[in-house]
């Protein structure tokens, strides 16, 4: 491999593998792949030090299309694989590509624990609110009443909110973007990498075969100014085509206000990525009453799992030396079974 370490300037083409991309034509995964491949050269990391790990689903084909190391795991277990890899090879840049089904259903338990542990890895969760690979069953993020092959009379399950779930675990970096908002997605992926700790990015992604148009109100040029709320640290929560709408705190709840009705920007909520309570409140709002927040909900510093593990191992060696495995196996109560 030509690497950045060898003084070779990498480009997007260096991260494009020789595998034919086999997603459905028009799938939002293509846009996500393109932005990840564009971000990688900016990081200055040798390709042999980058690893993409996935589980099962359309999103989980991702490692095949990245010209880096990769691991295609089993359903929902990519966070566990990533944990083992990062804990033993902390110098690697580890990325997890997962979906709403893979990450929040069978993999939900693995996801919440990797988030609370805070390894320095990056998790990209593609949310199309459907099981696409298995041909259109409802997923953990499908809305109530969703009619699918597995819910012909409508889903009666209340959906997971991926951002709320991540914030509830104490995750140190939580963000949301959209597949077709390429500049915004590029920025969020870059920020996710730059964060020291577990970064969780929900990417709203269109499945044009089994759930087409699920996010059309957010992507349509005529509607998105009023349906997107772009979160910017230190700036007021303003949206709308003329930026004449905003979000104000009323009591313990958020409300939409019109700046043409005598409300000034000084009365609006100022976004603070370190305010956990505000981040959680923002994770709960959305249509039809509110716009959908996009951007970084939370970004805070906390020691990483792998660094604490390394410190513990060093301390144990200083206290006990390298140890004697034979002595350990024969210590304490032992029995000989004949």
Residue 70 tokens, joined: 């990769």
Instruction: Output the pLDDT for position 5.
Output: 53
Contacts of 230 (CB under 8 A, 6+ apart): 184, 239, 294, 295
CA distance 190 to 260: 36
End-to-end CA distance of the chain: 55
CA distance 323 to 102: 40
- Comparing C-alpha atoms, which of 248, 274, 251 is closest to residue 259? 248
Instruction: Output the pLDDT for position 2.
Output: 45
pTM: 0.93
Instruction: Output the pLDDT for position 1.
Output: 44
Domains of the chain: 12-235+273-306 (3.40.50.970), 236-270 (no CATH)
CA distance 253 to 264: 18
CA distance 334 to 239: 69
- Comparing C-alpha atoms, which of 294, 289, 217 is closest to residue 254? 289
- Report residues of the chain scoring pLDDT below 70: 1-7
Residue range 149-159, pLDDT digits in tens: 999 999 999 99
Question: What is the DSSP track for 205-274?
Answer: --BTTTBTTTTHHHH-TTTHHHHEEEE-TTSB-EESTTS-EEEEEETTEEEEEEGGGT--GGGSPBP-TT
The helix-helix angle for 78-88 and 108-117 (nearest 10°) equals 30
- Comparing C-alpha atoms, which of 156, 92, 104 is closest to residue 128? 104
Residue range 105-122, pLDDT digits in tens: 999 999 999 999 999 999
Instruction: Output the pLDDT for position 130.
Output: 96
Instruction: Output the pLDDT for position 6.
Output: 57
């Amino acid at each position: 491999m030509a690497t950045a370490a060898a003084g070779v300037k990498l480009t997007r083409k260096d991260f494009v593998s020789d595998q034919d991309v086999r997603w459905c034509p028009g799938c939002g995964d293509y846009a996500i792949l393109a932005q990840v491949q564009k971000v990688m050269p900016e990081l200055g990391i040798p390709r042999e030090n980058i690893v993409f790990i996935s589980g099962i689903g359309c999103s989980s084909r991702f490692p095949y299309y990245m010209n880096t190391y990769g691991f295609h795991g089993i359903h929902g277990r990519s966070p566990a694989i990533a944990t083992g890899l990062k804990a033993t090879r902390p110098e690697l840049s580890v990325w997890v590509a997962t979906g709403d089904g893979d990450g929040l259903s069978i993999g939900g338990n693995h996801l919440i624990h990797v988030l609370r542990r805070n390894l320095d890895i990056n998790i990209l969760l593609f949310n199309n609110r459907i099981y696409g690979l298995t041909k259109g069953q409802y997923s953990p993020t499908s809305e109530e009443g969703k009619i699918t092959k597995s819910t012909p009379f409508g889903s009666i399950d209340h959906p997971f909110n991926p951002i709320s779930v991540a914030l509830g675990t104490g995750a140190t970096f939580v963000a949301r973007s959209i597949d077709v908002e390429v500049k915004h997605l590029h920025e969020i992926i870059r920020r996710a990498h730059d964060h020291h700790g577990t970064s969780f990015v929900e990417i709203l992604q269109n499945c044009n075969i089994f759930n087409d148009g699920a996010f059309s109100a957010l992507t349509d040029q005529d509607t998105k100014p009023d349906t997107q709320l772009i979160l910017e640290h230190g700036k007021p929560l303003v949206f709308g085509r003329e930026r004449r709408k905003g979000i104000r705190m009323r009591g313990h709840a958020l409300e939409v206000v019109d700046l043409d009705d005598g409300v000034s920007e000084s009365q609006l909520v100022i976004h603070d990525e370190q305010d956990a309570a505000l981040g959680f409140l923002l994770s709960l709002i959305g249509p039809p009453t509110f716009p959908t927040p996009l951007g970084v909900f939370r970004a805070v510093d906390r020691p990483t799992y792998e660094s604490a593990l390394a410190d513990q191992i060093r301390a144990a060696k200083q206290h006990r030396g390298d140890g004697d495995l034979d002595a350990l196996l024969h210590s304490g109560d032992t029995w000989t079974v004949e």
